[in-house]
Amino acid sequence: MLARRILPCLDVKAGRVVKGVNFVNLIDAGDPVELAQVYNDAGADELVFLDITATHEDRDIIIDVVYRTAEQVFIPLTVGGGIGSEQMIKDLLRAGADKVSINSAAVRDPDFINRASSRFGNQCIVVAIDARRRTVPEKSDRANPGWDVYVRGGRENTGLDAISWAQEVEQRGAGELLVTSMDADGTQAGYDLSLTRTIAEAVEIPVIASGGAGNCDHIYQALTTGQAEAALLASLLHCGQLTVNQIKQHLAGRQVPVRFE
């Protein structure tokens, strides 16, 4: 089994790291460059930088913040938010990003995934899937009706089925999937293991579990029962409830392979 990865996530709005619950009620969590350096030194495997309002505000991602962040870290950096062109991907990679995460633009123009993967390599292309569980109608005998894909920072339901969309983006050249449960996001009640596992079983590329981490056991479950190859987390780390080392020690103690400095 390959080493499992712990990925701190920096959700950035107006140049500051923020954190909310179910994609709303955002609060300030600090400076992205300073936090990136802290997590780099703490032994994180990778960092994910998401400009969470770029698409909704119809603007480009904050390149200067990406550049300053990349200067301070020596682990892989994934950047997402408002990425809608090959030129933007090129600019981000030049600014120091190792991968880019695309979401709304991929739904709007699925061929964008093909073009980006062909030009930059699928190892650079992460497709983010923000998914929300469909409501089960009353008197329905369906325990799990599935999940819809949302875009524009969780504001717009595309009507796409999350599992089918995951399979399509893999075929189009995505090298990795960042799967966020909108229902669990920020709740610290645990990842949506059913969502993560169902997608992981449907594709061959790595799946990053996102949304809902509340303790070390939640992360362990995402990487075992949920079959994710990496766990993304924010609140637990930003608020100092856990450290990267504590998480890795817990995982190693339960025979999950992880990398230590």
- The residues carrying an active-site annotation are 11, 130
Task: Count the Cβ atoms, other than its own, within 10 Å of residue 44.
Answer: 25
Backbone angles phi, psi at 127, to 5 degrees: -100, 120
Largest CA-CA distance found in the chain, in angstroms, rounded:
56
Pairwise CA distance, residues 3 & 124, whole Å:
19
Pairwise CA distance, residues 106 & 109, whole Å:
5
Pairing of strands 176-181, 207-210: parallel
Beta bridge partners of 163: none
Beta strands in the chain (DSSP E): 5-13, 16-21, 24-30, 47-51, 77-80, 99-102, 125-133, 147-151, 156-161, 176-181, 207-210, 230-233
Pairwise CA distance, residues 219 & 251, whole Å:
8
| Length of the chain as a residue count | 261
Nearest to 36 by CA among 52, 48, 54: 48
Backbone angles phi, psi at 150, to 5 degrees: -115, 150
